[in-house]
Amino acid sequence: MKAIITIIKKEWMEVRRNKLVLSVVLFVPLLMVAIPLVMLGIMGRVGVSQSDLDEMAAMLQNPLFAGLDPIEAVQSTMASNFLVLFLMMPLMVPVTIAAYSIVGEKMTRSLEPLLATPISTAKLLLGKGLAAAIPGIATAWVSYALFLLVARFLVVSDKVYAIFLNSMWWVAMLVLVPLLTIMAVNVGIIVSSRTSDPRAAEQLGSLIILPLMVLFIGPLAGFIQLNAMTFWISAAIALVADVVLVYLGVKLFQRETILTRWK
């Protein structure tokens, strides 16, 4: 356990000194909190016309929004959709940390001395994985908490606020966020093993957010309804992907493979 903590400590010391990584870790979550809050504020203040309501009819068929008046429905719908952006944090933050951590070590050739220590590859991988995953989960949870704190003052009614605390978001935060983080860490490792440029690794790794866009665009286009079941299904898909990615990540993260096959 001590060795894992040492690896996490070392990774975080390096992140603290890497302005590029630090900016992603701090800036992206702030942006993701700001966007739904701004939407919430705007939607609470603008008038809603009949034509607006007609366009949103499909979304309003979502039982989640039943019993809400038009302003409440619009505010909760838009804010809920943008809340999906919170799920980008457990993807982007770990991918960035893992990419810079592993490719950075390849560039400075510091992986070999590290591999020469008595630490097992499993502990080393776990240490590096946790160092990337913890900030990803923490930023998602802290951002959600921050959103809930500020949203309390921007919602037009308690009924809207209750939507941000319903089971759908608990599934997203407590189940989907950790699963997405595991996915991102392993994608970071896999991508890092094939490139020697941290920016390229980060950009390639960032493609992982594309499937998540279905949850963002789907409700707006009307072909997906945001509810607990949607997130449970997403979590199941993420779990399957995680099993495959963890297998590949562990296979790639072996002493001999790193020293002789990584580019």
> Does 13 engage in binding with another protein (CB under 8 A)?
yes
> Does 263 engage in binding with another protein (CB under 8 A)?
no
Position among 23, 49, 110, 196 found at the interface with another protein (CB under 8 A): 110
Chain positions 49 to 108 lying near another protein, rule: CB under 8 A, are 108
> Does 117 engage in binding with another protein (CB under 8 A)?
yes
# of chain residues touching another protein (CB under 8 A): 27
Nearer to another protein, 4 or 56 (CB): 4
d(CA 126, CA 103): 17
Q: How far is the CB of 214 from another protein (least distance, A)?
A: 38
> Does 256 engage in binding with another protein (CB under 8 A)?
yes
Position among 1, 57, 66, 116 found at the interface with another protein (CB under 8 A): 116
d(CA 60, CA 40): 17
d(CA 230, CA 63): 13
Nearest to 249, CA basis, from 84, 163, 167, 132: 132
Q: How far is the CB of 135 from another protein (least distance, A)?
A: 17
> Does 22 engage in binding with another protein (CB under 8 A)?
no
Position among 114, 146, 220, 248 found at the interface with another protein (CB under 8 A): 114
Nearer to another protein, 101 or 234 (CB): 101
Nearest to 65, CA basis, from 52, 55, 78, 54: 78
The H-assigned helical ranges of the chain are 2-17, 19-45, 50-55, 57-60, 70-83, 89-108, 111-115, 121-154, 158-163, 167-171, 177-193, 198-206, 213-221, 228-252, 255-260
